[in-house]
Amino acid sequence: MAQLIQYIFAGLTMGVIYALTGVGFNLIYNATGVINFAQGEFVMLGAMFLYTLQEVLQWPPLLSLLLVFLLGGVVGVVFEYTVVKPLVRLGVITVIIGTIGASVVLKGGAMLVWGKNALAVEPLISEKPMAFLGASLNTQVLVVLAVTALAVAVFWYFFGFTILGKAIQACSVNPLAARLTGIPVERMITLSFFLSGAFSALAGGLIAPITLAEYDMGTMLALKGFCAAIIGGLGNNPGAMIGGLLLGVMEGLSAGYLSSGYKDALAFLVLILVLFWRPEGLITRGKGERV
């Protein structure tokens, strides 16, 4: 029994990380229809920023996290102006290829600035793990889980019940119609890049104590986060959260009961199955395709 719980905890640990990255994908997808393959690098930059502020400059953790959030937002906006805007006329596919290029540049840049070695970041609450029914859980995982749930709730309210959120969604559904109703489409898109960058950087700062901060951590995160977003239905934030946790727990269980060698294969198998049977995502109701 304790073993089963421990496997689930192991899964949750990775699952919240996937979920956070998945939500980052959604924010940009919802505003522009673009899948941003540099999303993992946003997370990586967050981890690096936090390392610099908290460990090098020795600033208090909460202030550091707040600054990481803002800096991440700035990175998102700069990213939009330098990568997305110049390419957007050429179509969504071109922008996506552009984001892949940007991810390589960001990764290389981070390597030059922070070096190739992994960096350790202190956890927010304590190093001591929490015991539960004979299993143990890293306390930082709870922090990440809480922040993810809170963020999903806030985004749900923001996009569902506020004028600003609705305006962002309108830009994604039909930019021309949105413009005709007086929504400043450009500004809305910039706002969603700010939100995505900020949120992803915060995610990076939160997971750094668990995973260590490393210049090439983004690739794996982007891949698994993308899976999480697909499983939950691209664009659906609660879906990404559930998708990420599901993916993580499945990995944990397969490492425990099957063999750790099949863990990654299983995750991608599930992704393929979902794409076959429910391409709209596990928890999304089917809806009309945007043409």
Name the residues that contact other proteins, by CB under 8 A.
Answer: 3, 6-7, 9-11, 13-14, 17, 116-120, 122, 127, 129, 131, 135-136, 138, 210-212, 214, 217, 219-220, 251-253, 255-256, 259-261, 263-264
184-215 burial string, b = 16+ CB within 10 Å, else e?
ebeebbbbbbbbbbbbbbbbbbbbbbbbebbb
At 213 the three-state DSSP class reads strand
Q: Which residues pair with 130 in a beta bridge?
A: 137
- Judged by beta carbon, residue 9 or residue 42, the one nearer other proteins is 9
Q: Tell me the C-alpha distance between 184 and 130, whole Å.
A: 48
Least Å distance, CB 78 to other proteins, is 27
- Judged by beta carbon, residue 94 or residue 219, the one nearer other proteins is 219
The four Cα atoms 112, 116, 118, 122 give a dihedral, to 10 degrees, of: -20
From 277, 124, 276, select the one nearest 207 (Cα to Cα).
Answer: 124
- Judged by beta carbon, residue 84 or residue 267, the one nearer other proteins is 267
Least Å distance, CB 203 to other proteins, is 14
DSSP state of 133: T
Least Å distance, CB 141 to other proteins, is 9
From 238, 229, 212, 209, select the one nearest 271 (Cα to Cα).
Answer: 229
Distances (CA, A) of 135 to 126, 127, 183: 17, 16, 52
Least Å distance, CB 250 to other proteins, is 11
Least Å distance, CB 270 to other proteins, is 17
Q: Tell me the C-alpha distance between 232 and 249, whole Å.
A: 15
Least Å distance, CB 37 to other proteins, is 16
Give the amino acid at 93.
Answer: I
- Judged by beta carbon, residue 120 or residue 173, the one nearer other proteins is 120
